[in-house]
A and B are shown apart, each in its own frame.
Chain A
Amino acid sequence: MNTEPKKKVMVVGGGIAGLTAAWELSGMNLDVHIVEKTCFLGGHAIKFCCKATEECQQCGACSVEKMLKNVVNEPEINIHLSTEIESINRNGNFKVSLNKGPKYIDPSLCTNCGACFEKSPEQGAIIQGFSKNNSPLYGIVEEKIPLIKDFCKDICPEGAISLDKKGTSETLEVDAVIIAAGFKPFDPEIKGTYGYNKFDNVISGMDLEECLRQNGCALRPSDGKKPEKVAFIQCVGSRDERLGNLWCSHVCCPYALRMAEVIKNQDPETGISVFYMDIQNTGNNFPVFYEKCKSDMEFVRNIPVDILPVENDKLQMRYLSDDEGSAVTGEFDLVVLSIGITPGEDNDKLSKIFDVVLDKDGFISNDNKLSKSFTSSRGIFVAGTAGGPKNIADSMANAGQAACEALNYLGREEHTK
């Protein structure tokens, strides 16, 4: 029998990469701790919709749901929600100081009945997770506590809510770290001429993901009706020299085309235009899929510069038409900005804490050209979009790689030398 104490690994981030890395490591009989700064596991990808038409389109959104279910049902994986990393101290292994946010909702008492969320007098003070596998399914937004103090006193039938809870500090000793802190979706307000947050019917790809997931169909925010004409503008925040964002985000062409196909499949009458620079591939079947898209929608190789509101909450864009070679004006009910992946907002902080180098773009740099999970620091690995743009499948593969490298590292016992 092996009586040595189990090796411990900390996974920073509970998105798809972090969940996958944790799951793989726990399968290898390691003691795994996931540290997630928000109150829900699943990251951005848990909000994504299924993009199947009659056929699965391999977007991978259901894989996130499945992995989350795996992880929350695995008692060997320790989960620290609403927790941030304060500092680490490296001395052979890593001593990590954690700042654990207050548990306003006691997970041992909450039954996910939803009473607090449904009856809350302040929108946005009590939030709901995206997956049934989030438990508690609800969270309390710290800044809004003063607004719901009275309401929360006796709203919970189980007495699970107490707003006086304080955060705690905890120290964790681990032998290796996987950074899977994810990305920040490009903020489309930065491209002011598109009028995001100014015009109701200009939404981001991420908004459309959530809309499809929650409503099962695409709706115009202004009136809740189905749009008749939809435009997708690609490369918003990606491949943009002026912004200094010199990378392709990998995911926007696939998600835009897949969601466009979903809309088209639900209502073949919907007109769809895709404004693009270069269409990127989805998978091995791309040539067939792209042909289908070309027969279903209009492709315009021109990125419109600005969006103007016109009557009936419609939106107007001027662009160069491929057919006519001159500027034309088009009106749309809904404009979807295909926003890209930008470096996680904590990357600078993580870079300092863990002494890992960032690349020119601000992602966590791969130290080794061939292995995409090495960082510049021994015993610290990177997985998923923390290291650069990736889709769900690649994030999972990269997480498997990071888990494998962490295992190799622990097996070699280098860290004790």
Chain B
Amino acid sequence: MTYKTDTNINEISINTDVLVIGGGLTGVKSAWEIASSGYKVILVERGSGLGSKDSNDQDLIKKVTSDSNIDVFTGTSIVSSAGVPGDYSIWLSKEDEILDKKVGAVVVATDSSIKVLDKEYGLSLSDKILSQSQMESVLVSDKEKIKGKSIAFLAGFAQEGNPVVTERILNSVLAMEEITGCSVSVYINNIKVASSGLERLFKEGRDKGAIYFKLTNAPEITDTGEKVKITFLDPVLRNKIQAEHDLIVIEEQVSADPINRSLAELLRIDLGPENFLQKENVHMFPVRTNREGIFVAGSSRKVCNLANAWMDVENVVLEIKNFLDNGTKTVPGDKAVIDAGKCTICLTCYRCCPHGAIYWEGDKAVISPIACQGCGICASECPMNAIQIGGYNDSFISDEIKAKTESSVKPNIIAFCCENSAYEAGLMAESFKMQMPEGLNIIKVPCAGKIDMDFIMSSFAQGADGVLVMTCHNGNCKSEKGNIFAGWRVAEAQSKLDVIGLEKERLAFVTLASNMGKDFCRIVNEMEERIKKLDS
């Protein structure tokens, strides 16, 4: 990476190669689309070939393997990574060799993994008990086998399920109805039809004769030797019903690839629920992660069908184009600056940065201006006060506190507001002419993570009657945990207030979204009332 410094704008040239992890169809498609946009791609797959278990597009795979801008590495895994967005180093292991690669951006496109849930039903696969995948193979190559049979599906009792699971069942049901003498029953809990076309498939299956038993609890299943008996409580008739079937098809769970856990660690990206590689944070949707230049597509971030994975791929392409552009990035020179004289390399900043933006060069910490999102968590946490955030440096905010606490309107309320949420809500309350306290003074911060303990205490020291720390809701912080840091600092500040004899009700931590003008208004008015009571 080379830096060209102008007065306060830095021009940085970055690597424009892209690493795509995962050679399933999502990864293959990503590689193809990114290469078609003019970037060189390294496609890495740990298995022996490209393509996915369930669907393959040989044309696309052929195009990708023969494209001179795409380097394909199969039988290869990622062993280590380092660096910052625009300049990532990745180490690959292929057979006994370690390969050292440099890329500007990374796309994670791991496939889903499939698990048969027979054990969860207390069953084991046999000639009468088939998994969904086994039944799909039968329907493709051995239809004779199920001619004239009575077949039952079990779904939604061992897992909540999702439209991908439902779609497979609905398609199998329809295929069976084409086979002479096949009768189909489906024992199911919530049938997940929230995907394009599924309700129609569901109806088509029923119209052709499939019987659906919607139950909230799993039925009893017993092997009678020749057949399998299913016993359940009919929800309408309220009595036990028994049915016999020749074959049982057990649902499968579609989940995240277990390798996601180690990839998250390797790439320093947050792991979300159920091992998916994205936190449930609306700021990340659709394909972003907590780190700049690392994107997730398809099954690496949620259970999805191919059409939704394709949607992700095209969003990844947009992100890649935005991020890599022509290999030159301009960033403000003062986005986040470490005073090397003050820094004692205690690593606090490295540990608390949610964006993996901090690294070392020699014996000093460095903040990558490309990776940095300017949240200011590091600046507030640094015990040496060695970090300043452009546009929000400490002296600027201190001056603002000073000016705003000087106001003679009482009670004086200082509200530190995250610019992404509470600040917007405040503006909304204003635009809609909501009645707010006269003594309310809003101070905008880039993220609640930048609300220093000093800011809170000096507001009181300079005459504020009350202080509000207004942040995003838990799980909605753009920097994932700025609001959590702010919450801790408020708790600590409250105990300090106690010590110096100020009521801790004068300080409050509240969470808001940008569209909650009414709530903003209520909160500040309640604060005013509370203070008035304390002062009376």
A residues touching B (Cβ–Cβ < 8 Å)? 24, 27-28, 48-50, 52, 54-56, 58, 60-66, 69, 112, 114, 118, 128, 131-132, 137, 213-216, 239, 241, 246-250, 253, 278-281, 283-288, 290, 301, 320, 322, 325, 360, 369-373, 388-389, 393-394, 396-398, 400-401, 403-405, 407-408
- CB-CB < 8 A to B513: which residues of A? 50, 52, 56, 61-62
- CB-CB < 8 A to A370: which residues of B? 306-307, 310
Q: Would you list 17 pairs from A and B whose C-beta atoms are within 8 A, ordered by A residue?
A: A50-B513, A56-B474, A56-B475, A56-B476, A58-B475, A62-B514, A114-B433, A132-B517, A239-B199, A247-B199, A284-B302, A301-B235, A370-B307, A371-B310, A388-B196, A400-B318, A401-B310
Task: Tell which of B364-372, B421-429, B444-452 binds the partner.
Answer: B421-429
Pick the contact of A250: B194, B274, B317, B473 (CB < 8 A): B194
Nearest-CB distance from A241 to chain B (Å)?
7
Pick the contact of A28: B302, B311, B321 (CB < 8 A): B321
Contact A286 B160 (CB under 8 A): yes
Nearest-CB distance from B404 to chain A (Å)?
22
If the complex has contacts A322-B235, A325-B236, are A280 and B193 also in contact, measured as CB distance less than 8 A?
yes
Contact B214 A24 (CB under 8 A): no
Contact B427 A132 (CB under 8 A): yes
A406 to B292, CA, bound (A): 25
Pick the contact of A397: B278, B312, B474 (CB < 8 A): B312
Nearest-CB distance from B171 to chain A (Å)?
14
A194 to B193, CA, bound (A): 25
A408 to B318, CA, bound (A): 11
Kindly supply a per-residue 1/0 record for chain B positions 322-350, scoring 1 wherever the CB is within 8 Å of any chain A CB and 0 otherwise: 10000000000000000000000000000
Contact B516 A50 (CB under 8 A): yes
A283 to B276, CA, bound (A): 11
- CB-CB < 8 A to A114: which residues of B? 433
Contact A216 B516 (CB under 8 A): yes
Pick the contact of A393: B192, B286, B317 (CB < 8 A): B286
Contact A62 B476 (CB under 8 A): yes
Contact A404 B282 (CB under 8 A): no
Contact B191 A214 (CB under 8 A): no
Contact B476 A284 (CB under 8 A): no
Query: Which residues 287-313 in B have Cβ within 8 Å of A in the complex?
Result: 287, 302-303, 306-308, 310-312
Chain B residue at minimum C-beta to C-beta distance from A282 = B280
* CB of B148 closer than 8 Å to a CB of A: no
Give the A-B pair count, Cβ closer than 8 A.
Answer: 188
Nearest-CB distance from A364 to chain B (Å)?
12
Contact A401 B476 (CB under 8 A): no
Contact A216 B522 (CB under 8 A): yes
Query: Which residues 436-485 in B have Cβ within 8 Å of A in the complex?
Result: 472-476
Contact A215 B307 (CB under 8 A): no
Pick the contact of A284: B235, B274, B315 (CB < 8 A): B274
- CB-CB < 8 A to B517: which residues of A? 132
Contact B193 A52 (CB under 8 A): no
A62 to B282, CA, bound (A): 9
A410 to B282, CA, bound (A): 30
Nearest-CB distance from A163 to chain B (Å)?
24
A63 to B197, CA, bound (A): 27
Chain B residue at minimum C-beta to C-beta distance from A299 = B216
A131 to B282, CA, bound (A): 19
Report whether over half of chain A's contact residues are helix, strand or loop; otherwise say mixed: loop
A144 to B194, CA, bound (A): 41
Contact A56 B514 (CB under 8 A): no
Query: Which residues 228-250 in B have Cβ within 8 Å of A in the complex?
Result: 235-238
Contact A404 B235 (CB under 8 A): no
Interface residues on B, range: 35 or more
A52 to B162, CA, bound (A): 23
Query: Which residues 114-151 in B have Cβ within 8 Å of A in the complex?
Result: none
A283 to B160, CA, bound (A): 12
Contact B198 A248 (CB under 8 A): yes
Scoring B199, B424, B522 by chain A CB atoms within 10 A of each residue's CB, the highest score goes to B199
A268 to B36, CA, bound (A): 55
- CB-CB < 8 A to B475: which residues of A? 52, 55-56, 58
Scoring A27, A246, A288 by chain B CB atoms within 10 A of each residue's CB, the highest score goes to A246
A373 to B159, CA, bound (A): 32
A28 to B190, CA, bound (A): 43
| Supplied contacts A281-B192, A371-B307, A401-B314, 16 more A-B pairs, CB within 8 Å | A54-B474, A56-B282, A58-B280, A58-B281, A58-B282, A61-B513, A64-B515, A132-B424, A132-B432, A253-B194, A284-B274, A284-B276, A369-B307, A397-B287, A401-B310, A407-B318
Q: Top 7 A-B pairs ranked by shortest CB distance?
A: A56-B476, A132-B431, A325-B238, A50-B513, A404-B314, A56-B475, A397-B286
* CB of B219 closer than 8 Å to a CB of A: no
Nearest-CB distance from A405 to chain B (Å)?
7
Contact A65 B472 (CB under 8 A): no
Contact A56 B473 (CB under 8 A): yes
Contact B511 A404 (CB under 8 A): no
A393 to B302, CA, bound (A): 13
* CB of B273 closer than 8 Å to a CB of A: yes
* CB of B519 closer than 8 Å to a CB of A: yes
- CB-CB < 8 A to A214: which residues of B? 518
- CB-CB < 8 A to A408: which residues of B? 36
If the complex has contacts A62-B513, A132-B432, A248-B194, are A24 and B318 also in contact, measured as CB distance less than 8 A?
yes
